Chain A
C-alpha cells in the first residue's frame, strides 16, 4: 500500500510517516522543507502549485494531507487562508482526477473554538461532538472549515472517500511530561481537549486504511478520553461554560469531547492518557 503523507516534516507528519512505515506501508513524504532524497521516500514540493500536487500524489492508494500553515498569526491573514485552501483543494482535485480513492486530511477543533478566542465561546453542550455548530473565528479556522466543505463536495461529486480529522491539542513528546496542567490563569475559555501525538498518528493511519463506504465524508474529532487540565471536568465545564448542557455522566477528568465517531467509523481508540503513565 502506497501512502502519500504531506506536511511530512511537521510534528504530526513525521509521526505519521514513522507509524505508517511501521505498519508496512510504502510512504512518500512531501513537504516544502529542504530537498527530497531522490529515492522516493521524501520529496520537496509546493502544494499550492497544482501541477506539483498531481505529480506527487499519482500512484498513491491513500493521501494523508497534513500540509498547511498550522495556525493563525504566523503569516498575514489572507496568506494563511489562501495557502491552506489552495493546498486542500489541489490535493483533492489531483486525487479525484488520478483515481486516488482515499484522502484523509487535517481539520482542527478550531472550527469550533479558535485559540485564543476572538469572541466569547458558547459551547451548547458537552461532550462536544461533530454535530455541534461550528464557529470559525480566524483565518486559520476558516481555512479548516472551508476544507471540510471541500472534502464533502469531493466525496459527493467525485466519489472520493474523505476523512476530515478534527485534531485537538496535539501534544508532542517534549510537552507530554508537563501534563496535566492547571488552567492558564490568562485564559477565559480553557480548551481541555488533547491527544498524544502517537495516538494522532495512528488515527491518521486508521482513517487512511480502514474500510469506509465509497463516496463518504467522515468528520471526526481525534482526542484522548480525558482532559489535560487538572481541574475536574464537571467543575471546569460549569465554571467556564455555564450555558453548556451536560449530556453525559461526566466524572473526574473525563473528556468533554466525544470520541465515538472516530471509534465507530475507523476504529480509533486512544491509547494515551496524561494521567496513566
Chain B
C-alpha cells in the first residue's frame, strides 16, 4: 500500500510517516523543507497543482497534513490562501488520478481558538462534530473551508475523505510536562484538550486504511480521553464555562469532547492519558 504523507517533516507528519512504515506501508513524505532524499522524501510546493499531480500519482491514500499550522506565522491572506489552495489541489488531483482516499488534518480551531481574548460561545459539552463551527481567525477559517471542499469531493465525486479535527498535538517531550497546572483564573475560554502525537499518528493511519464506504466524508475529533490540566473536569468547566450546558456526566478528568465518531468510523481509541 502506497501512502503519500504531506507535511511529513512536521511534528505530526514525521510521526505518521514512522507509524505507517512500521505498519508496512510504502510511504512517500512530501514537505517544503530542504531537498528530497530520492527515496522516501520529496520536496514540493503543494500550492502548485502541477507538482501535486506529479507527487501523488500511484498512491492508494493521501494523508494531507501540510499547512501553515497557525495564524500569525505569515500574513493572514497568505495563510488562508496557502492552506485552502493546498487542500483543494490535493482533492482535485486525487480525484483526477483516481485516488479514492484522502485523510486531511483539520483542527479544533474550526470551533474555537483559545488565547485571543475571544469568547468561545460553546453551546454544550462534551463538544461533538455536530457543534456549529465558529472559526476565530484565518487558520481556523482555512480548515473549515477545507472541510467544505472535502464534503463536496466526497458527496459529488465519490471520494472517501476523513477530516481529522486535531486538538493540541503534544510531542513526547511536551507529554512529559503533563498534566499542566490549572489555567490562570483570568484566562479567557481556555481549551483543555490534547492528544499524544503517537495517538494522533495512529488515528491518521486508521483513517487512511480502515474500511469506509465510497462517497463518504467523515469529520472526527482526535483527542485524548482526559483534560490536560491538573484539576477535575467539573472544576474546570465550573470555573471557565459555568453557563455552558452539559449533555452527559463528566467524571474525574474526562475530556469534555466526544470521541465516539472516530471510534465508530475507523476504530480509533486513544492510548495515552496523562491522568493515568
Interfacial residues, chain A to chain B (CB-CB below 8 A): 49-55, 58, 90, 93-94, 97-98
Contacts and interface: CB of A to CB of B under 8 A. Distances in A.
Nearest to A50: B50
A6 B49 CA distance: 19
A90 B54 CA distance: 11
A49 B50 CA distance: 7
A51 B89 contact: yes
Interface in B52-85: 52-54, 57
B54 A93 contact: yes
Contacts of B96: 54-55, 58, 98
B238 interface: no
Contacts of B48: 50-51
Nearest to A58: B96
B57 A50 contact: no
B57 A97 contact: yes
B84 to A, nearest CB: 15
Chain B contact residues, majority secondary structure = helix
What is the predominant secondary structure among interface residues of chain A facing chain B?
helix
Interface of B: 48-54, 57, 89, 92-93, 96-97
A50 B51 contact: yes
A76 B74 CA distance: 35
Contacts of A53: 50
B223 to A, nearest CB: 35
A53 B52 CA distance: 12
Contact of B50 (A54, A58, A98): A54
A57 to B, nearest CB: 10
A88 to B, nearest CB: 14
Nearest to B58: A97
Contacts of B52: 51
Contacts of B97: 98
B59 to A, nearest CB: 13
A87 to B, nearest CB: 12
B204 to A, nearest CB: 25
B51 to A, nearest CB: 7
B144 to A, nearest CB: 24
A213 to B, nearest CB: 26
Among B50, B52, B93, B96, the most chain A Cβ lie within 10 Å of the Cβ of: B50
Given A54-B93, A55-B96, A94 B49 contact: no
A277 to B, nearest CB: 47
Contact of B54 (A52, A55, A58, A97): A97
B98 to A, nearest CB: 10
A58 B98 CA distance: 12
Contacts of A97: 53-54, 57
Nearest to A90: B50
Max count, chain B CB within 10 A of own CB: residue among A49, A54, A90, A98:
A54
7 contacts: A51-B50, A51-B52, A54-B93, A54-B96, A55-B96, A90-B50, A93-B54
Contact of A55 (B49, B51, B57): B49
Nearest to B48: A51
Nearest to A53: B50
A49, A53, A55, A93 interface centre (most CB from chain B within 10 Å): A55
A52 B49 contact: yes
B76 to A, nearest CB: 25
B50 to A, nearest CB: 2
A241 B92 CA distance: 56
A85 to B, nearest CB: 15
A55 to B, nearest CB: 7
10 A-B pairs with the lowest CB-CB distances in the bound complex, closest first: A50-B50, A51-B49, A51-B50, A54-B53, A58-B96, A97-B57, A49-B50, A54-B50, A51-B48, A97-B53
Contacts of A50: 48-51, 53-54
A51 B53 CA distance: 7
A98 B50 CA distance: 12
Contacts of A54: 49-50, 53, 93, 96
Nearest to B53: A54
Given A50-B49, A54-B49, 8 more contacts: A50-B51, A50-B53, A50-B54, A51-B89, A53-B50, A90-B50, A97-B54, A98-B96
A90 B51 CA distance: 11
Contacts of A52: 49-50
